[in-house]
Amino acid sequence: MATRSNILVCGGTGCLASESDKVIKNLELIIKARGYENEARVIRTGCFGFCEKGPIVKIEPDNVFYVMVGPKDAKDIVDEHIIKGRTVDRLLYREPKANEIINRQEDMPFYKKQLRVALRNCGLINPEDILEYIAFGGYEALGKALTSMTRDQVVDEVKRSGLRGRGGGGFPTGIKWEVTKKQDDNEKFIICNADEGDPGAFMDRSILEGDPHSVIEAMAIGGYAIGASKGIIYIRAEYPLAISRLNTALNQAREQGLLGKNIFGSDFSFDINIKYGAGAFVCGEETALINSCTGKRGEPNYKPPYPAEKGYWGHPTCVNNVETFANIPQIITRGADWFASIGTEKSKGTKVFALAGKVKNVGLVEVPMGITFREIIFDIGGGIQGGRKFKAVQTGGPSGGVITEQYLDTPIDYDSLISIGSMMGSGGMIVMDETDNMVKIAKFYLEFTMDESCGRCTPCRIGTKRMYEILDKITSGKGTMADIDALKQLAYMVKGSSLCGLGQTAPNPVISTLKHFWEEYMAFIKDVDNPRGEGRHIAKNKIKFATEK
Amino acid sequence: MTKPHEIDVYEPVEGELPKEKFDELEAFINSLESTDGALIEILHKAQNLFGYLPRDVQLFVARKLGIPGAEVFGVVSFYSYFTTEPRGKHTISVCMGTACFVRGSDKILEKLKEKLQVQVNEITEDGLFTLKDIRCVGACGLAPVIMIDDKVYGRVKEEELDGILDTYR
């Protein structure tokens, strides 16, 4: 039944932690008490992204955006806004710089520079109602692919769009699909990697919580393209809300005949199973993930053979990340050319970043590739908290490096980030201010990779441990120049000789902090007076050798 | 691949673990279409039932699936979600994700260790709390975050900890 007003309340994990469920309950109670059930409806949506100011409440069609709404504010929203038509000014967003009230979402600096493709439905629809997804164009792409496109055309469309893997590596999605499609096997699999392990990144979780159907639809499209009739979503067991919404969505899709046999009357049949992770960062690596799906320890394998040739139970398997999938339906409906018109030459489309740390507006932002760090941190993020000075930003989580002020105007894409010593990763973006000690940050990341190293290959298992020990020695004031040399040498050794991406990237935080924050290391070192000891000389030559390969 | 064995289902020795939970676990394993690749799923179920995965439970699963106990233990010890120690009545998880770390969650963790007189993954003397550090709750906007059971507490300050803990005492 259509109502005059829709009250959208954020039901993402962040807002739920600030009692948005109570806000919903109170709104519903008061609406009922006032006899306005036919006039206003409360909808629990996915994440709006503006987590700093949560819980978020948005009134449609008035397009009014309320921030930091508490359970007690429900009365005013109903009595003033819904019944009397007056906005509740005290709940509106106040722009701190100009100190002016902004009531429309699109006028807020946090949203102005964003372009939402993967997050298009998050904060807009009720994720537990497939009809809302369909009303916003959902499953149109699947219908189009199945009824009017050949498998080759689908693969070609994705290839031409220039979409690259959003989980970190940035491998072209279309090529992955093409290789899997080419394999000669009756049974193939398509897997969604929802084992979001980067501490500080939560975009995959938000997509699954806010718009689970976009992933399901994309997996079906992918299944059709590569010739797979079975899909698997591998998700962290620590994400109970995402799991529950995903299950609801899968059941609704089956009821509507959008999963199952002969979808859209075609001869294509497809269904999806959920497999649960159990807390292992390395399972984000695709061969480790596949091992974990078969109930084993999640250790990576040597590649080749690639999963596209020999994956799940030995069959060709295509593994894509949640955010990658969320882009697919839009690419099919709006076309590769539209998608390729966004972004930079080699990195097309948008990227979702989890902006966190010492920035004023913490939250989830989706921006076109090619935007600069300065725009994200200072325009969208509102600058540094407490008026302190910016020091660095870490991208790529434990696999990335720190980016300093001199690179703030670098346009962000896969290749530019690598060239400045970091990487895209899954999109965590942690901002640090002048009070953060970078050696301790490097130690923090090493502690993480040391814990998460699966132990399969020696360089990573022992190397990360030794590096952590050295960093611990340095930060406790007992380090010497010889330790710095050993640390450097180990860093390049682990990077060059580890089996999988975890080990190959684990030293990045150390390498980049050594490069940009040498003086902070030196501040911990006792024999600063003798910076050019013999050890340093030897290490230098070794490093040269390691980087030349 | 392995199939469920019909032979000698393992009988728990110590007898401390409730038999009806073993029965429920057995019924769950029997209800699976195939046990191929289902070990992690079964262990999730077992941990749900028992709260943790003691040796007897691991061996029970191994016998049911007809695989070596070492293989089960290998999986249990690999994944951080699985625990072989009993938990306290409430689990306190301190988020040690990067966003929380740069906003001081390490200090919160230290303070909790001091207040509860335990180390990480240990249970308090009164059996009320287990202290854990976890990676990321995904509520980075509220950093630093702690979770007690399923309830998330955001923007936690050291001086608020006593008040929060008291609500569980």
The answer to whether the beta carbons of residues A279 and A238 sit under 8 Å apart is yes
Q: B105, B95 in Cβ contact below 8 A?
A: yes
Q: B70 and B108 share a domain?
A: no
Q: Across the interface, do A278 and B37 touch by the CB < 8 Å criterion?
A: no
Question: Is residue B51 domain-shared with residue B129, that is, in the same domain?
Answer: no
Do residues A363 and A308 both lie within one domain? no
Give kind and range of the element (H or E) at residue A26. helix A20-33
Residue type, B46: A
**Residues A352, A197: Cα–Cα separation, whole Å:** 16
Residue A203 Cα, gap to closest chain B Cα (Å): 9
Residues of chain B with Cβ-Cβ distance to A297 below 8 Å are: 74-75, 78
CB nearest B98 (choices: A16, A294, A428): A428
Q: Which CATH number is A403's domain given?
A: 3.10.20.600
Question: Which structural domain, as residue segments, surrounds residue B43?
Answer: 1-86
pLDDT tens string B39-55: 999 999 999 999 999 99
**Between chains, do B37 and A293 touch, taking CB under 8 Å as contact?**
yes
Verify whether the Cβ–Cβ distance A295 to B39 is below 8 Å.
yes
CATH number reported for the structural domain that contains residue A88 in this entry? 3.40.30.10
pLDDT on residue A103: 85
Distance CA A152, CA A118 (A): 24
Shortest alpha-carbon distance between residue A98 and chain B (Å): 23
CA pseudo-torsion sign A527, A528, A533, A537: positive
Q: Which among A436, A351, A362, A448 is positioned nearest to A397, based on CA atoms?
A: A448
Q: Which one of B101, B106, B107, B121 makes the best mutation probe of the A interface by having the most chain A beta carbons within 10 Å?
A: B101
Q: How far is CA A358 from the centre of its chain?
A: 19
Q: Do B34 and B108 share a domain, yes or no?
A: no
Domain final residue pick, A45, A76, A107: A107
| pLDDT for the residue numbered A536 | 44
Residues B43 and B100 in one domain: no
Has residue B1 got a pLDDT over 90?
no
- Asked whether the beta carbons of A482 and A473 are under 8 A apart, the reply is no
DSSP 3-state of A483: helix
Q: Which residues make Cβ contacts (< 8 Å) with residue A98, sequence separation at least 6?
A: none
Q: Tokens for A67?
A: 């921030």
Do residues A165 and A263 both lie within one domain? yes
Last residue of a domain, one of A372, A403, A433: A433
CA distance B128 to chain A (A): 22
B-interface mutation test, from A296, A384, A438, A447, most B Cβ less than 10 A away: A296
- Number of folded domains that form chain A: 4
Three-state SS for B72? helix
Residue A26 lies in a domain: yes
Alpha helix stretches (DSSP H) within B53-150: 55-65, 69-78, 98-102, 105-116
Do residues A267 and A314 both lie within one domain?
A: yes
3-state secondary structure of A170: coil
Distance (Å, whole) CA A179 – CA A183: 7
Return the structure tokens found at A301.
Answer: 């394998």
Residue A271 in domain: yes
Residue B71 shares a structural domain with residue B104: no
Residues A267 and A318 in one domain: yes
pLDDT tens-place string over residues A383-435? 999 999 999 999 999 999 999 999 999 999 999 999 999 999 999 999 999 99
Instruction: Find the CB nearest A17 among B74, B101, B152.
Output: B152
> Could you tell me if B82 and B3 lie in one domain?
yes
Would you list which residues of chain B are within 8 Å, Cβ to Cβ, of chain A? Answer: 36-41, 43-44, 74-75, 78-82, 96-99, 101-103, 134-143, 145, 150, 152-154
- Given a cut of 70, the residues of chain A with pLDDT beneath it are 1, 527-549
Do A368 and A265 sit in the same domain of this protein? no
Question: Could you tell me if residue A113 is inside a domain?
Answer: no
The pLDDT score that the predictor gives to residue A533 is 43
Is residue A121 situated within a structural domain? no
- Domain presence at residue A114: no
Q: Which structural domain range is residue A377 located in?
A: 350-433
- Residues 6+ away with beta carbon under 8 Å from B115: B161, B162, B165
Buried b (16+ CB within 10 A) or exposed e, A215-234: bbbbbbbbbbbbbbbbbbbb
Cβ-based contacts of B101 with chain A (< 8 Å): 199, 444
Residues A202 and A316 in one domain: yes
Nearest CB to B80; choose among A202, A279, A362: A279
Q: Which two tokens stand for residue B168?
A: 């569980």
Domain match, A296 and A407 both: no
Nearest CA in chain A to B73: A297
Nearest to B41 among A13, A276, A394 (CB): A276
Alpha-carbon gap: B163 to the closest alpha carbon of chain A (Å): 17
- Strand A230-235 with A189-194, pairing: parallel
Residues A175 and A262 in one domain: yes
What distance in Å separates residue B99's CA from the closest CA in chain A?
Answer: 5
Residues B24 and B76 in one domain: yes
* Number of separate domains in chain B: 2
Establish if A324 belongs to a structural domain. yes
Which tokens in the block code for residue A15?
């807002």
ipTM surpassing 0.95, yes or no? no
Distance from CA of B31 to the nearest CA of A (A): 16
- Give the span between the Cα atoms of A451 and A250, in whole angstroms: 34
Q: Which of B86, B103, B131 is the last residue of a domain?
A: B86
pLDDT over 80 (residue B11)? no
Tokens matching residue A463? 């190397």
Q: Is the preceding omega at residue B18 within 30 degrees of 0, hence cis?
A: no
- Examine the fold and report which residue of B47, B63, B86 is the final residue of a domain before the chain moves on: B86
Question: Does some domain include residue A62?
Answer: yes
A122 domain residue, yes or no? no
Q: Which residues contact A107 (CB under 8 A, 6 or more apart)?
A: none
Indicate whether B77 and B140 sit together in one domain. no
Give pLDDT, residue A548.
42
Identify the CATH number of the domain in which residue A278 sits: 3.40.50.11540
Instruction: Please give the Cα distance from B154 to B143 (Å, whole number).
Output: 6
Check residue A48 and report its DSSP letter.
Answer: -
A46/chain B closest Cα distance in angstroms: 13
Strands (E), A153-257: 189-194, 230-235
A198 contacts B136? CB cut-off 8 A: yes
List the single best residue of A203, A236, A238, A283 to mutate versus B (max B Cβ within 10 A): A238
Examine the domain organization and report whether B77 and B130 are in the same domain. no
Q: Nearest Cβ partner of B139 from A14, A313, A394?
A: A14
Shortest CA gap A295–chain B (Å) = 4
* pLDDT on residue B17: 86
Q: What are the two backbone dihedrals, phi and then psi, of residue A200, each rounded to the nearest 5 degrees? A: 110, 0
CATH classification at residue B41: 1.10.10.1590
* B126 shares a domain with B104: yes
Percent of chain B scoring above 90 in pLDDT:
73
What's the CATH code of the domain at B110?
A: 3.40.30.10
From chain A, the residues in CB contact with B150 under 8 A are 240
Query: Chain B contacts of A397, Cβ < 8 Å?
Result: 98
Q: Which of B91, B122, B135 is nearest to A278 (CA)?
A: B135
The residue of chain A nearest to residue B147, with distances taken between CA atoms, is A17
Question: Are the beta carbons of B141 and A52 separated by less than 8 Å?
Answer: yes
A524 in helix, strand or coil? helix
Q: Chain A: residue nearest B100 by CA? A: A357
* Domain co-membership, A146 together with A29: no
Residues A531 and A423 in one domain: no
Q: Following DSSP, what letter does each residue of A273-311 receive, concatenated?
A: EEEE--S-GGGGSHHHHHHHHTTS------SSSPTTTS-
Are both A11 and A142 inside the same structural domain? no
Which tens digit of pLDDT belongs to each residue from A342-357?
A: 999 999 999 999 999 9
Query: What is the rounded CA–CA span in Å between residue B56 and residue B62?
Result: 10
- Compare all CA atoms of chain B with the CA of A298 and give the residue at the minimum distance: B78
- In this complex, the residue of A205, A281, A432 whose CB is nearest that of residue B138 is A205
A360 plus A503 within the same structural domain: no
